[in-house]
Structure 1
Amino acid sequence: MPRSASRTVTLVALGALLTCTVVVMVASWASPESYSPARLSWPNAHLLLGWARYDAGWYADIATRGYWYTPGEQSPVAFFPAYPVVIRGLGALGVDTFIAGVLLTLVCGLSAVVLFTRWASLLKGEEVARDAGLLLVLYPFAYYLYGAMYSDALFLLLVVGAFYLLERGQLVPAVLLAAVATAARPVAPALVFGLLVRRLEWKRQRGERWSFWDALPVLAALGLIVYVLYLWHAFGEPFAFAKVQSAAGWDQKPGWRTWFKVRWFQGFNASMSVGDGLRLVGHAAFSLGALALVWPTAKRLGWGYGAYVLAMVGMPTLSSKDFMGMGRYLLASFPLFLTLALLLRERPRLRWGVLATSAVLLISLAAAYGAGAYVS
């Protein structure tokens, strides 16, 4: 294994080990009632279940019971199928559903970071790739790559893999991976748009003429299309995943109240706790910071990556009522970490300050998540 790759693997392993240790320790101190939907019978199972919280219950239900849809009520159709399908496959091999979800996230998350550094090295060299990998490993919401039972790690692995293959000129495999990715998260337009623009830009940079085959990235939407057709066949509502967002408790109905973040402003009141205030401000700050990096990304990495990041950040920012979850969603906007690494290369003190602050936030948020706090 090359020295740079070995250092990357070591770094990722240490970050994951530290974060997992924090979550397990906090979970061991927390009360059993705080544990999420998961229940296991083997001794000390709760130590692992610090990773199984909130949406983990939805993924487990889909993996074991399948989908159902009740108009106007929270339903599992809001969650795309790729992640729970893999969990179901592991369950068929005898692996407990929640253990399967945690292990799937861990394997995909570590693989995604390693592949990310290879992609970054391909574009900007090994030294910058190392810095970018470190920024990703220590990103405050990177614990979603180390065990949290959510689909973000799988999605990141797929999208990084798609762009990595695209950079190597392997268009068909890139589109196939991207099609699986659009069955994991409802952001098909961002991925299709980014791949298409980057493919055309890639051909132009090599002095090659565009051809009919360069439009192949539009087929990356097949994952979304298949899910839409399934919902239409099963429930008579092809866009049930979008309509269910208006259900009580989620309250994210498309419209001006969501677009202009009325709920976010309403969250600031006299009864607001310090934690609620930090959560509201924090996710909004991450969103605005990511949007501020769109133009530098386009300048340094190309219009394809700029287009991808703009759509990948803009879609959830617009559709969220209060920016909640944006810190986690930004993991998919992986070119931002390379852009930030490039911007910090000439500012070593600032770079170390960013890394130290990020590491402290990562451990703090992982501890809060392990204790059952709603942080993202």
Structure 2
Amino acid sequence: MATSVRRPSDENLRIVQVWLVTRLLFAIMAVAIALGGGRRLESVIGGWDVGHFLRIAAEGYADPQEMAFFPGWPLILRGFSALGLQPALAGAGIALVCSLLAAFALKRIAGLWGAIAWLLAPTAVFTAVAYTEAPFCAAAFWAWERATERRWGQAALLAALACTLRVSGLFLIGALVILALTQAGRRGDGPVGSRLAWLMLPAAVLIAYITYLYGLTGSWTAWFSAQEAGWNRAFHWPWEAVAHQWSALWRPTPEHPEWVWIFRAEMISWIIGVLVTVIALARKRVAEASWVGVQVLAFSLSYWLMSVNRAVLLWFPLWRLIGEFVESRPRTRAWIILGWTVAVLAVALQCLWAWLFFTGRWSS
């Protein structure tokens, strides 16, 4: 029996279809919640960190705690305001476009099914509002794809862009360094030193931001101080963080019964990160293991495990493993039914998470 061959155009179309359906569901939910609650749409999609970005865009770092947020995204939002656009809505529009760009990059890294799995991620709502997840993933995933294709100049420019958005750019540089050192040479490749030299560009972006904060505060640790003051991210040993998280799993809050489930999801996401790191190492994907492993370690050095659910969106090695698993399965009726069942459940879960965000409940 002849097997069908998927063409790149067919795969791109399928990615666009999944992206459109899931993002349309988010839009319908946001509009319905706004109309049902008599709220403005920008207030529905502008909760949590969006408020911090908007204040930085309008006032700069007037609040020292907001130095925890990198300046790239607030500068973009300020540009929207200067053009007379509503920044929360315009930022959501850019995030939607960036989520599609990130999915296309993932198709090259993780295959079709890896990209689709990422679009169906439980916390995908953060790629549909004015958060940094979507633009960072678009820049970081394409930086990685370009680096694996030995286009190190392009990779460095994209990594530099990612470094303007969030501290995760530091981990991206580290993983790219390991990739540069371990990348098998081929005829025509330049020396390893030239690959590493390119990575001075994104590193310079981070140094510039730290220097800027020093100019404002007189402290070289202003970013760490902001994290500690605003989000209780003072240093703790990993076993302390895990112990604090474990105790929180069994203390429901009557006013917010959803909180305990979010804490449980954080623990599950952290365990997934550990497993992905181990599997990547077992498959000799050292650079990919470092990308996830360093983030897992960083989350383990706070009071508890915080924001891991959103960080899962950044872990392209996870989506690569999922893509490879799905691709290796036989196309039997049972597997197809199971696949559709998982997809429906995934959409239901991400809609639940979107509801938590849009209604102002804690959403990690």
Q: Taking structure 1 as the reference length, what is the TM-score of the superposition?
A: 0.84
CA contact (8 A) 2:103 2:118 kept: yes
From 51, 55, 58, give the equivalent of 1:61: 55
- Cα 1:194–1:7 shift into 2, 3 Å: same
Matches within 5 A, 1:1-376: 2-30=9-37, 32=39, 46-70=40-64, 75-120=65-110, 129-146=111-128, 148-204=129-185, 210-216=191-197, 218-219=199-200, 220-247=202-229, 250-256=231-237, 259-268=240-249, 272-273=253-254, 274-300=257-283, 302-315=285-298, 317-347=299-329, 348=335, 351-376=339-364
Residues 296/355 of structure 1: CA separation in 2 closer, same or farther (3 Å cut):
farther
SS at match of 1:3: helix
CA distance in 2, matches of 1:362, 1:106: 15
What is the distance in 1 between the residues matched to 2:341 and 2:289? 26
Cα pair 2:44 2:359 within 8 Å, conserved: yes
CA contact (8 A) 1:158 1:178 kept: yes
* Paired residue type of 1:373: R
> 1:232, 1:238 within 8 Å by CA — same for their partners in 2?
yes
Normalising by structure 2, we get a TM-score of: 0.87
User: CA 1:218/1:153 → structure 2, altered by over 3 Å: closer, same or farther?
Assistant: same
Secondary structure at 1:252 match in 2: coil
Partner of 2:332: none
2: CA distance, partners of 1:281 / 1:205: 46
How many Å separate the matches in 2 of 1:3 and 1:137?
17
Greater displacement, 289-298 / 274-283: 289-298
The answer to whether the Cα contact below 8 Å between 1:52 and 1:98 also exists between their aligned partners in 2 is yes
Report what 1:123 is aligned to: none
Which position in structure 2 is the counterpart of 1:35?
none
Structure 2: distance between partners of 1:231 and 1:209 = 36
Relative to structure 1, the CA distance from residue 140 to residue 341 in structure 2 (aligned partners, 3 Å threshold; closer, same or farther) is same
Judge conservation of contact 1:252–1:258 (CA < 8 Å) in 2.
no
Distance in structure 2 (CA, Å) of the matches to 1:312 and 1:305: 11
CA deviation after TM superposition for structure 1 residue 358, in Å: 2.0
Distance 2:48 2:301 in 1: 20
Equivalences, count: 348
CA distance in 1, matches of 2:292, 2:75: 27
Q: Which amino acid aligns with 2:287?
A: G
In structure 1, how many angstroms separate the alpha carbons of the residues matched to 2:167 and 2:68? 9
Distance 1:217 1:335, change over 3 A: farther
8 Å contact 1:145–1:152 — kept in the other structure?
yes
Q: What is the CA distance between 1:359 and its match in structure 2?
A: 1.9
Letter of the structure 1 residue corresponding to residue 15 of structure 2: T
Amino acid at match of 1:283: E
Distance apart, 1:65 and its partner CA: 1.1
**How far apart, CA to CA, are the structure 2 residues paired with 1:290 and 1:27?**
35
Alignment deviations for residues 155-207 of structure 1 (CA, whole Å, 9 cap, x no partner): 11110111111122211121121122122111344211211122233334779
Counterparts of 1:314 and 1:240, CA distance in 2: 21
In the other structure, the counterpart of 1:37 is none
CA distance in 1, matches of 2:22, 2:70: 28
CA contact (8 A) 1:178 1:191 kept: yes
**How much does 1:90 deviate?**
2.2
